[in-house]
Amino acid sequence: MSKAIGIDLGTTNSASCRVEGDTHRILVNSHNEELTPSVVGCEKYDGDEEDVISIGRAAANQARMFPADTISSVKRIIGRSFSDPNVERMRELVHFRILESTEPVAGLAAVEMGGREYLPEDISAMLLADIKKYSQTAIGDDVTHAVITVPAYFGEPEKAATREAGKKAGLVVKTLLPEPTAAALAFGAKANNEEGSFLLVFDLGGGTFDISIISIVGQDYNVLDVHGDHFLGGDDFDDEIVKMILSHVKDKHSADLVDDLKFRIIAKSKAEEAKKALSGSDTASILIPDAAVVDGKAIHVRMKIARKDFEAAIQPYVDRCKQLVKAVLDQQSMSAKQIDSLLLVGGSTAIPLVYETMEKIFGKQKVRRDVNPMHCVAIGAGILAERMKGIECPNPKCGETCDESLTECPKCDTSLSAARSVLEGMEVTDITTNHFGVQAVHDSDPHAFRILVPKGTEIPMADSSKATLYTTEENQDLIKVPVFEGMGSSVLQNARIGVIEYSLPSGLPINHPIHITLHLDRQSIVTVTIQVEGYGWSHEQSLKRELTEEVEAQDDLLIDDEDEVGEDERMVAILESYIERAQRFLTEYDGILTNSQKSRLERALADGRTILDDENGTEAKRAVIDIDQLLTRCGTASLIDQAIVAAHTTDGDTSNDLTTAADELRQAAEAGNLAIVEKLSTPIASMIRQVYKKDQEIQQIGAADKFGGLLRDEQQ
């Protein structure tokens, strides 16, 4: 009989757990380890035609010899676009190559290993397949199903990529479980919560930081709020020690080894050892014999690091943890006194500065470390894997219990998108960590974000969320509904999940009501329903992952449908002005644009200049659309540019406020202060929209009279 396991798919280390009844067992790998390094590498041996893939400890051990072909911490970029600022940051930290994917989805962050391109989910799938294999050996039976954990604030693109990794590894993913919720399940298994309690889970792992506030009553676990940071964890602490080592080598030996990949791998390993040692000692020794050869001379590293120096280096990260804890409490209008227990999860919580900081905030008696911080996430996943008995058909006349791998009930053919998990003796609810909504036209702005499912909505949703939108033109025969996830007021700030296009049998009048319904299932998969009022036309579709940064633009952008003599000349003239504008944009925002954004603009400019020489009107029209799309898709640079344009179209305090805000955003972006950029972006986007709302004659860059099937968020 096949078994189900829980898997903690960690950034730095992974683990699996099998639960039977009231007992749990962390399963050991082929190296007799309970924790498997989340590392995949490859090497080609003499005489072999193909690369040899190594996973876990074997891959970690080969990293010193083959750093460029050893992939680690890939969870930090899974499901993200190549132009994501966090991916750009990751590229500067790792010893392997992160590149832009070409297939099956272009524009995503990918990695290069052994000269081949892999998506992060391909690497994760190799790791999961290895976990499945050694778990089967440990259990002595087949493993077919698993609950896999993810950071609480993972968006749908990251979750979709993780589900895909599980599928590629040959697993039926019962559900994706937020890591803090998993830890709470492990904690709850040892606690009496019949009267109810509030638990704050503080999960500081190798690469990510998660916080959740969870209400526990008996065996009912309800997530109230989540917060965190994708790029905060023990890896950052290790990097601070690596900086100390590099500085020591430079001062002592006058050698700069920043670009020596092999040395950085060794230094990273020694840094992790020193970090652990400093949790129990005031000093740690670092010895690296034959660290490198410079000018024919061998360099040996021998140094000590004091705990006080280490703590001073990581203090900004710990302060960031404090800020995020305060933010999640404020969001729930709670104080530290109202938290009954704080559960420390993840290896980085063993650092004295970390747990002592939390003890000062919550009180020493509330800070719980009695559940193994390195095992509790896997244990919680194992508990849920054992308790989940399938999913229940939402058809009240059916009630069939179906396997998690199915999308339709085999008994009545009802869609299982609204199905709830069947749990034995417990109830676990999760919430959305971002808003979900659709792109709509607001006044003259085609990039408005109409929220249908607000952050904090319980999932799986008991009831779908519905909104009424309106057609934007006469005889509209196409409805286009792009769906986004995020916290920005503009879709340009959010991640696109997918787009629904629905062709109508005949055209509709302008301002005709269209009802849009969004539903999120237990896996946060979005199902969209489009209903045309009065006609009986409807369409339902579940969305698949696509390039998160892509935003639909209209083919009719800034171009009339006229077919006059001289149209080719007119289009070539428009293209020439767009090329000049794009070149100014490149120069103006050189310090803000990512390398990917620059390269795309430069390719579009080169293409446009070639078309100018040919004087082809049709191709010129296409090039104008391409350039205009790119100018509105360059993240922070586009937002600053739009703010400056909006400031010039208004006057008084609004103009001054926009100019000041744009300057502050530029300074933060050029300084690489992502936290400030994130804080400023939403209010600036809101100010821009207000400018265009006051003067509908002034159109935002990218707006047009025709919107390519988009719907308006209110009648006009």
Give the tens place of pLDDT for each residue, 688-713.
766 655 544 333 333 334 678 899 99
DSSP 30-82: TTS-SSEE-EEEEE--TT-SSPEEEETHHHHHHTTT-GGGEEE-GGGTTT-BT
Helix 567-588 with 595-614: angle, nearest 10 deg: 150
Listed range (348-357, 498-507, 614-623) with the worst mean pLDDT: 614-623
pLDDT of residue 707: 79
**With bands split at pLDDT 50, 70 and 90, how would you rate the model's confidence at 138?**
very high
Q: Which two tokens stand for residue 708?
A: 């390519």
- Answering whether pTM is above 0.85, one says no
Asked if the model's pLDDT at residue 210 lies above 80, the reply is yes
Amino acid 405 reads S
How sure is the predictor about 612, in pLDDT bands with cuts at 50, 70 and 90? confident
Q: What is the mean pLDDT of residues 563-583?
A: 72
pLDDT at 194: 56
For 278, list phi and psi in degrees, rounded to 5: -75, -10
What is the rounded distance in angstroms from the CA atom of residue 333 to the CA atom of residue 700? Answer: 38
Of 25 and 566, the structure prediction assigns the larger pLDDT to 25
pLDDT band with cut points at 50, 70 and 90 for residue 557: very low
Each residue's pLDDT tens digit, 381-435: 999 999 988 888 878 888 888 888 887 889 898 877 667 778 877 888 888 888 9
Average pLDDT, the chain: 85
Of the two residues 129 and 560, the one the predictor is more confident about is 129
pLDDT given for residue 556 in this prediction: 36
pLDDT digits (tens, 9 = 90+) for 231-271: 788 989 999 999 999 999 999 988 898 888 888 889 998 99
Alpha helices per DSSP H over 519-634: 567-588, 595-614, 617-631
Q: Residues 6 or more apart from 289 whose CB is under 8 A from it?
A: 300, 301
Confirm if 279 and 351 have CB atoms less than 8 A apart: yes
Q: What is the pLDDT of residues 474-496, one digit of tens each?
A: 889 889 999 999 888 888 878 88
Residue 541's Cβ-side half-sphere holds a number of Cα atoms within 13 Å equal to 17
For residue 715, what are the contacts with CB-CB under 8 A and spacing of at least 6?
Answer: 470, 511
Q: How is residue 3 written in tokens?
A: 């078994």
Structure tokens at 504: 């109508």
Q: What is the 3-state secondary structure (H, E, C) of 564-586?
A: CCCHHHHHHHHHHHHHHHHHHHH
Per the DSSP assignment, residues forming a β-bridge with 338 are none
Tokens of 273: 């050892």
Give per-residue pLDDT as tens, 26-67.
999 999 999 999 999 998 665 666 778 999 999 998 888 888
> So what's the pLDDT on residue 698?
35
Question: Residue 641: what pLDDT?
Answer: 85
Give the residue with greater pLDDT, 678 vs 549.
Answer: 678
pLDDT band, residue 204 (cuts 50/70/90) = very high
DSSP structure class, residue 103: S
Give the confidence band of 71 by pLDDT, cuts at 50, 70, 90.
Answer: very high
Phi, psi of 80 (to 5 degrees): -100, 155
Selected residue with higher pLDDT from 348 and 22: 348
pLDDT of res. 272: 92
pLDDT for the residue numbered 702 = 36
| pLDDT for the residue numbered 123 | 97
11 has a pLDDT exceeding 80: yes
Quote the pLDDT of residue 562.
39
Q: How far is Cα 237 from Cα 249, in angstroms, rounded to an integer?
A: 19
DSSP character at residue 108: B
Distance CA 85, CA 207 (A): 16
Q: What is the pLDDT of residue 642?
A: 82
Query: Phi and psi at residue 414, in whole multiples of 5°?
Result: -70, 140
Three-state SS string over 442-488 comes to: ECCEEEEEEEEECCCCEECCCCCEEEEEECCCCCEEEEEEEEEEECC
Mean pLDDT computed over 364-380: 90
- Residue 191, pLDDT score: 54
Give the pLDDT confidence score for residue 692 in this predicted structure.
59
The identity of residue 271, as a single letter, is A
The answer, yes or no, to whether residue 380 has pLDDT greater than 50, is yes
Structure tokens, 285: 């020794």
Pair of tokens at residue 253: 């030996």
By CB atoms closer than 10 A (0-12, 13-18, 19+), residue 303 is middle
Return the structure tokens found at 77.
Answer: 């970029």
Using a pLDDT cut of 70, give the percent of the chain over it.
91
Provide the pLDDT for residue 392.
84
Question: What pLDDT score was predicted for residue 553?
Answer: 38
Looking from the CA of 446 toward its CB, the CA atoms found within 13 Å total 27
Determine the 3-state secondary structure of 437 from DSSP: strand
The residue with greater pLDDT, 168 or 463, is 168
pLDDT at 316 over 80: yes
pLDDT at 559 over 80: no
User: In angstroms, rounded to a whole number, what is the distance separating the alpha carbons of residues 201 and 218?
Assistant: 18
Question: Which band of pLDDT confidence, cut at 50, 70 and 90, is reported for residue 436?
Answer: very high
**Alpha-carbon separation of residue 664 from 82, 491, 636, 645, 668 (angstroms):** 26, 22, 12, 16, 6
Neighbours of 540 (CB within 10 A): 14
The predicted pLDDT at position 182 comes to 93
At residue 693, the pLDDT reads 53
* Residues 15 and 375: beta-carbon distance below 8 Å: yes
**Of 706 and 620, the one with more pLDDT:** 620
State the pLDDT at residue 552: 39
- Whether residue 211 contacts residue 325, with contact meaning beta carbons closer than 8 Å, is answered with yes
Average pLDDT rounded to a whole number, residues 371-379 = 91
Look at residue 697 in the predicted model and tell me its pLDDT: 38
What span, in angstroms and rounded, lies between the C-alpha atoms of 406 and 404? 6
What 8-state DSSP symbol labels residue 419? -
Name all domains of the chain by residue range, CATH numbers in brackets.
Answer: 3-179 (3.30.420.40), 234-313 (3.90.640.10), 435-542 (2.60.34.10), 567-694 (no CATH)
- The whole-angstrom distance between residue 88's C-alpha and the CA centroid of its chain comes to 14
Secondary structure (3-state) at 299: strand
The pLDDT tens digits for 442-459 are: 887 888 999 999 988 988
Before 513, cis peptide (omega within 30)? no
**Composition of the chain by helix, strand, coil, percent to 5:** 40, 30, 35
In three-state secondary structure terms, 546 is coil
In b/e form, how buried is each residue of 541-555, taking b as 16+ CB within 10 angstroms? bebebbbbbbbbbbe
- In this prediction, residues 107-124 reach a mean pLDDT of 93
Question: Scanning the structure block, which residue is given the tokens 């428009």?
Answer: 574
Average the pLDDT over 565-583 and give the result. Answer: 75
DSSP code per residue over 339-362:
-SEEEEESGGGGSHHHHHHHHHHH
pLDDT at 549 over 50: no
Q: In terms of Cα–Cα distance, which of 115, 134, 201, 127 is closest to 162?
A: 127
Bond prior to 151 in cis (omega within 30° of 0): no
Sheet bearing 116-118, strands edge to edge = 98-100, 109-113, 116-118
pLDDT band at 362 (very low <50, low <70, confident <90, very high): very high
Q: Which percentage of the chain shows pLDDT scores above 90? A: 40
Q: Residue 591, class by beta-carbon neighbours within 10 Å (0-12 exposed, 13-18 middle, 19+ buried)? A: exposed
pLDDT band at 560 (very low <50, low <70, confident <90, very high): very low
Which residue in 390, 386, 384 sits closest to 430, CA to CA? 384
Instruction: Decide the pairing of beta strands 3-8 and 537-542.
Output: unpaired
The torsion angles phi and psi of 409, rounded to 5 degrees, stand at -70, 125
pLDDT interval class at 531 (50, 70, 90): very high
Mean pLDDT for 313-328 is 94
